[in-house]
Amino acid sequence: MNPRFRRRIASHNRHAVIAAVMSLVGAWLGWTIAYGLFVGVILGGLTVANGPEVLTGERLMTLPAWMHPAALGGALALLIWAAVDERQNRYHPASDRAVVGWHILGDVLLLPARLTFGFGHQLAAIIRLSHREKAEALDLLHHIYTEKRAPLHSLGAWFPDAGRLRRLLLALQMAGWIDLLRTEEGWIYIVRSTESDEVAAIFGDEGGEETDLCPGAE
């Protein structure tokens, strides 16, 4: 196995794990701050509603029994809102509006929920390939590199196992080596222009090593 190829996958996985940990910490902080603000608003409203005796300490006020269930309900509503928003806007480009307005409020409210989902997304981005699948991915990358423009339908003919082909292509995309483009002829895979030198170095370091791996074979 080419060491450059192996190191690139390992580096990608390390970054994915670090990003997952950061998302988890951010989600915890976000939910903690959101809960603190919620409790603060409720206590402030009850303090004002119960009169000046509470403000001066002459009267003790107990927390309402519904406050914690209400907080959980609010968190569940934010998670559902974030899930629906993610599904609807998954492939939409981010807005570049420079004007700060009320549309920012939704992004702020959804931040803890998005960070919670981000933890799962980052873990899902970890490339989990066996040694054999890594060899197949390297062979596939070499094929795309030599073809320059590899149509998706031709890759299906070259690698007959459609499920594993999708898995390998996704791994190569997540590692940053290839891009999927839509042209007049259909969908094609190419080596990213910023990675062409790196990919050339990968196969230049192989020293003409042959592989007896048959694509799609079990």
Residue 31 has pLDDT above 90, yes or no: yes
- Picking from 186, 78, 201, the residue whose alpha carbon sits closest to that of residue 145 is 201
Give pLDDT, residue 37. Answer: 92
In angstroms, the CA 191 to CA 215 distance is 20
Q: List pLDDT tens digits, range 64-83.
A: 788 889 999 999 999 999 99
Give pLDDT, residue 198. Answer: 86
* 189, 150 contact by CB (below 8 A): yes
Q: Domain ranges for the chain, please list them.
A: 3-124, 131-204
Q: What is the pTM of this model?
A: 0.75
Comparing 19-23, 24-28, 96-100, which segment has the lowest mean pLDDT? 96-100
Q: What is the mean pLDDT of residues 184-207?
A: 81
Q: List pLDDT tens digits, range 138-180.
A: 999 998 988 888 888 888 878 888 888 999 999 999 998 999 8
The CATH code of the domain at 131-204 is 1.10.10.10
